[in-house]
Each structure stands twice: as structure tokens, then as C-alpha cells.
């Protein structure tokens, strides 16, 4: 028995020592990641910036230290860090060119791709080169790669080129099978967001606006690719119609879609020739993570804050809304904008918005805070892939609005969706209800029945009042009459290039253009930028707790498996937690 206790004690001590050593090693890894991510580097002479196009492009991507620790890489890249990397590569004399490595890559919007492509074209103005290579190019990836001096393809590779299509999904009949229907109150003939749940096909106004904006986006793609590849737009359309995706790679060279066919090892020789180094010499490469550690050329002067507002607009996370993506929490945003208002070091604010909207009440609160902020310093809105409905609500009061030509904006209209599950409960599940009430509408909102005509009339007037307020905010902010706003409102979606003609935006351009405008309004000669809110560091992510990590994992897994069904199904799950009045775009544009 004595020997047994000795062995048991030794085992416990051994386990304790193992856990202690493992914990120390883990902390050393975290400290190493933090220190390596924060320390600056100087690129070697004759270096190449490698732009690896794989995973997803998001407006702003926080460094996921757990993913880096476990997988060595992240599944997404941020537009902000990519634009910063391209700009640094242009300015740094040791970086001679960009090598684009194309893979399975998708973007949050065509406007984000257009912004990145403009940055690549601006990079070429420095006299430096860009070479692109891929085993296969998605349509969006090829759009980016076409800006390169040379585009190469694997001899057995493909270039996807088929045009654009929008395929909205409709769930009305599916919900009916379970005894659930949506009671709808809305303002705006073009306000199509609820159609997914209340119709089985596109309304004619919705079909009209979708036709306009996908043709507008495609025309921008054709124009840009045509200019870079010296292929007429008519010929590019003909290639799309003939589905050259499945053409032999040799034919793509003849079509001038690509410049040559090479294997991966052969592309290295092409890059070495550009660098004027011997075949046996090593190529000095820097990725996006490395470029974040390269110092910017200019950090002098006054500060221009770039405040990022990305995702659904919500009244506050206290509602318990579940989402794997970012949200624009009105309480947090108002607090942050108030802090920027009081910060004497900040001379102007660029409000970077990428949102299809959400809660009308939350949008009104953010609108108010922008009004207070611009009394002290200029506020310039930079629209990303989408700044529509509630996203436009929070934009319209700023001093100046800049959008990309393919930004989706407008959608000035609101609605309320109220689920009626009484048939599911009473007929399909056999639940019985009884009641005692003191007043005529005491049981308003009961699960036992749908709204009656009088109650719907009250709701319609409530929604109409919210629409009138939204329309007035736009009229005041854009210095237009209410009648002129009405002609471009009604929930109508506009591309940025059309919104410019309708006076919904002031200028077409990029985030850099917005920064320049903010500096001009603030009368700044020298300035630098700083992004807000600050991204979470490694220790903050660790202290976030295992529960948050588990939830994120579960929702990311659901998103991966459900694909295009994810957003509408998550909306249905959370519908009772949303504010009654919604100012938002369709939950998934489903442009492919």
C-alpha cells in the first residue's frame, strides 16, 4: 500500500509539472505572437510583397491569434490591412514589386474589389511591377489580377468568366408548411427586404432595381478589365456568353485573357528576372502580416480618425442577438463618437460604413451622435460595399459623402415584420389558449392569434411615422426638399454612380479620397490616420472566454454548412429580438 501511494503521488506531481510546463510554453507562444506582431521590420533590399488571394475579403479583419497559433494562418484578410500593405509597398524603396497569388477567394462586395484594384493601379504609378499567377481564377480574383502587368495561369488551370446573376431566395412556402407566416407593414414600393418571407418571387419594382444594379456592377467590371487587358467590352461579354470557364488554357492565351501558361516553379523564375537576380538566389518575400509591421512613411501632423462601422445596426448586444459577424451596436458607436468629439488630438473623422442597415431606432441614435460630432469637427463618410437603408440613415447627416461607383446605397424606406405562429401552435401542435382581459387590446401581440385589421392599422401608422422621419433626416442632411427625396426614396436601391446623380452622395472615390477630403475640410497640411475602434489584442481574445469562442465556432460552422441560407435563417431565429422598425437591405443579395 505504501508503494501504491508513492506511485500515485509521483503521478500527480508529474501531471502537475507537465501542466505547468505546457502552460508556460503556451504563454511563451502567445507572448511571441504579440511581440512579433507589434515589432517593426525593415524589408530587405529587392523584396517582393506577396498578395495571397485566398479565403474571404472583409472590410476590417482582426488578427485571430488563436487561429495563428493553431493553424498558422487566418481564413480572412481585411480590406483595411490590404490597402495599407499596397500603399507601404508603393512607398518603400526596398520593395520592387507585387506578386499576386490567386486562389479560392471571395469578397464581401464588388465595391471592395474595386477599391483594392484601384490601389493596385495606383501602385503601378510608382513604376514598380505586378505579376499575377493562379492555378485557377475566380471571377472576382481575375478582376483584381487583370490589373497586373502580366497574368499567368497553370497549364491545366481555369479562369471563371460568366457574368453576374442575382438569385434571391423565398421562404414563404417553407414557413407555411410549419404554420408560420409574417405579418408585414412597410413603406416603399422598392423596399424588398421582407419579400424573402412574404412572397414567392420578386416584385416588379424589386426586379427593376436588381436589374439596374447588377448590370451597373458588371459594366464597371467590363470597363476596368477592358482597359487593362486591351479587350473590348463586347468581346468580354461574348467570352462570358460562351462560358470560357471550361475552355482549354491555350485558348485563354489566344483570347488575351492571360499572358502565358506556367507551372508554379516556372513563375519563380519570372519573378527573379523582374528582380534581376540569379536563378539560384532566394526571393525576399513579405506577406500582409509582415507589411503590417513595416513602418509607414508618414506619421507626422494632426490625427484624422477613421471609424469603422461594419455589419447589422442593432440597439445593443444586451438583446442577445446571435451573429458570427460584426455588428454596429448603437450604444457602443455613440459612446465612441462622443469620445472622438472630445478628443482634441483628433481634427476630423472619416466614418467608414459598410452596412445594409438594421434597427431604425438604433440608426436614429447614431444619426444624432454624428450631428453632435460635426458641430466640432468635419465628418466625411466613406461608403464601402454597402451603405444602404439604415447604413444610409447614419451617413446622410455628415459633411460629405464619398462612395465607390459599385457601392450599394439609398434604400430609403422602412418596414416591420411580425411573425404569426398561431397556426403552428393551435393547429399543428394542439396548444389551446383562453383569456381574461381588461381592455380592448390587452392581448395585443398574443401568440394565440394574428393581428386584426385595427391593430395592423395602428402598426401601419407607426411605420409611416418612422418613414417620414427617415425621409426628413435625408432632406435636411442633403439639403433637398422632402418632395425631391421622395422621388428617389420608396426603398429604391442605387449604385454609387447613380446616387451621385441623385445627390445622395457628393463624390465617387476611395477611402483615401475620403481622408483627403477630411483633411481639406479641417484645413490640415500634415496629418496621419488612426483606426477606431482599436482591434482586440491577443490577451483580450484569450480573456474573452471559452464560451464566446465556442459560440463563434458554432456559428462559423453553421455559416459554412448553410451557405446562402445562413443569414435569413439566423434572422428568423432572432426576429423577436429585433426592434419593430427595420431600415435594412435584403438579408442576402445573393449576387454570383
Separation CA 368–CA 353 (nearest Å): 16
Query: Could you give the count of Cα atoms lying within 13 Å of 258 in the half-sphere of its Cβ?
Result: 32
- 324 is annotated as an active-site residue: no
- Rounded (5°) CA angle 495-396-353: 65
Options 389, 398, 411, 422, the catalytic residue: 389
DSSP output for 319-377? G----SS-EEEHHHHHHHHHHHHH-TTEEEEEEEEEE-EEEHHHHHHHHHHHHHHHTTS
Phi, psi of 584 (to 5 degrees): -150, 160
Catalytic residue among 96, 118, 128, 191: 191
Nearest-angstrom CA–CA distance, 152 and 172: 47
Kind and range of the H or E element at 288? helix 288-292
Distance, in Å, from the CA atom of 353 to the CA atom of 348, rounded to the nearest integer, reads 16
Q: How far apart are CA 452 and CA 450, in angstroms?
A: 6
Q: Return the closest-CA partner of residue 168 out of 564, 491, 492.
A: 564
Q: Is 363 a catalytic residue?
A: no
Strands 260-261 and 181-187: unpaired
* CA nearest to 369, candidates 339, 401, 407: 339
Nearest 5°: the CA angle 465, 466, 469 is 90
Cα dist. 513→265, 266, 346 in Å?
A: 39, 39, 18
**Residue 260 has which C-alpha cell?**
502565358
Cβ–Cβ under 8 Å, residues 80 and 533: no
Helix axes 110-124, 79-91, angle to 10 degrees: 10
Residues designated as active site: 191, 389
Amino acid at each position: 500500500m505504501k508503494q501504491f501511494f508513492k506511485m500515485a503521488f509521483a503521478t500527480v506531481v508529474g501531471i502537475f509539472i507537465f501542466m505547468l510546463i505546457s502552460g508556460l510554453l503556451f504563454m511563451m507562444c502567445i507572448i511571441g505572437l504579440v511581440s512579433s506582431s507589434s515589432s517593426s521590420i525593415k524589408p530587405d533590399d529587392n523584396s517582393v510583397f506577396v498578395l495571397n488571394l485566398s479565403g474571404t475579403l472583409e472590410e476590417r479583419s482582426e488578427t485571430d491569434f488563436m487561429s495563428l497559433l493553431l493553424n498558422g494562418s487566418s481564413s480572412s484578410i481585411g480590406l483595411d490591412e490590404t490597402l495599407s500593405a499596397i500603399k507601404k509597398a508603393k512607398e518603400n524603396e526596398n520593395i520592387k514589386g507585387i506578386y499576386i497569388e490567386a486562389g479560392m477567394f471571395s469578397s464581401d462586395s464588388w465595391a471592395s474589389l474595386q477599391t483594392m484594384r484601384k490601389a493596385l493601379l495606383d501602385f503601378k504609378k510608382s513604376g514598380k511591377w505586378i505579376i499575377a499567377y493562379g492555378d485557377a481564377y475566380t471571377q472576382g480574383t481575375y478582376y483584381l489580377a487583370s490589373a497586373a502587368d502580366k497574368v499567368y495561369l497553370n497549364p491545366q488551370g481555369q479562369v471563371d468568366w460568366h457574368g453576374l446573376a442575382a438569385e434571391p431566395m423565398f421562404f414563404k412556402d417553407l414557413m407555411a408548411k410549419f404554420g408560420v407566416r409574417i405579418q408585414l407593414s412597410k413603406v416603399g414600393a422598392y423596399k424588398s427586404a421582407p419579400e424573402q418571407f412574404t412572397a414567392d418571387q420578386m416584385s416588379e419594382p424589386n426586379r427593376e432595381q436588381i436589374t439596374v444594379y447588377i448590370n451597373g456592377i458588371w459594366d464597371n467590371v467590363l470597363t476596368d478589365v477592358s482597359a487593362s487587358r486591351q479587350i473590348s467590352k463586347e468581346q468580354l461579354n461574348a467570352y462570358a456568353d460562351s462560358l470560357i470557364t471550361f475552355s482549354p488554357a491555350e485558348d485563354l492565351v489566344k483570347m488575351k485573357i492571360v499572358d502565358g501558361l506556367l507551372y508554379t516553379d516556372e513563375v519563380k523564375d519570372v519573378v527573379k528576372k523582374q528582380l534581376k537576380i540569379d536563378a539560384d538566389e532566394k526571393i525576399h518575400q513579405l506577406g500582409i502580416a509582415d507589411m503590417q509591421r513595416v513602418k509607414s512613411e508618414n506619421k507626422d501632423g494632426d490625427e484624422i480618425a477613421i471609424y469603422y462601422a461594419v455589419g447589422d445596426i442593432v440597439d445593443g448586444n444586451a438583446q442577445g442577438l446571435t451573429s458570427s459577424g460584426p455588428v454596429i451596436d448603437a450604444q457602443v458607436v455613440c459612446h465612441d463618437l462622443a469620445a472622438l468629439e472630445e478628443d482634441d488630438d483628433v481634427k476630423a473623422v472619416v466614418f467608414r460604413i459598410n452596412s445594409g442597415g438594421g434597427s431604425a431606432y438604433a440608426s436614429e441614435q447614431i444619426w444624432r451622435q454624428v450631428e453632435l460630432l460635426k458641430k466640432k469637427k468635419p465628418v466625411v463618410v466613406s461608403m464601402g460595399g454597402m451603405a444602404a437603408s439604415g447604413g444610409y440613415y447614419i451617413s446622410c447627416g455628415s459633411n460629405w459623402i464619398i462612395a465607390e461607383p459599385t457601392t450599394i446605397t439609398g434604400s430609403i424606406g422602412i418596414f416591420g415584420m411580425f411573425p404569426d405562429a398561431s397556426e403552428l401552435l393551435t393547429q399543428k401542435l394542439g396548444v389551446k389558449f383562453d383569456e381574461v382581459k381588461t381592455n380592448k387590446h390587452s392581448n395585443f401581440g398574443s401568440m394565440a392569434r394574428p393581428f386584426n385589421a385595427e391593430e395592423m392599422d395602428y402598426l401601419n401608422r407607426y411605420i409611416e411615422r418612422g418613414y417620414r422621419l427617415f425621409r426628413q433626416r435625408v432632406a435636411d442632411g442633403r439639403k433637398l426638399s422632402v418632395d425631391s427625396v421622395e422621388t428617389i426614396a420608396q426603398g429604391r436601391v442605387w449604385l454609387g454612380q447613380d446616387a451621385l446623380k441623385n445627390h445622395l452622395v457628393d463624390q465617387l472615390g476611395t477611402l483615401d479620397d475620403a481622408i483627403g477630403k477630411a483633411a481639406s475640410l479641417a484645413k490640415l497640411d500634415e496629418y496621419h490616420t488612426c483606426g477606431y475602434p482599436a482591434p482586440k489584442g491577443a490577451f483580450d481574445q484569450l480573456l474573452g472566454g471559452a464560451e464566446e469562442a465556442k459560440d463563434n465556432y458554432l456559428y462559423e460552422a453553421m455559416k459554412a454548412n448553410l451557405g446562402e441560407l445562413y443569414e435569413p435563417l439566423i434572422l428568423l431565429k432572432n426576429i423577436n429580438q429585433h426592434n419593430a422598425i427595420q431600415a435594412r437591405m435584403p438579408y442576402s443579395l445573393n449576387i454570383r
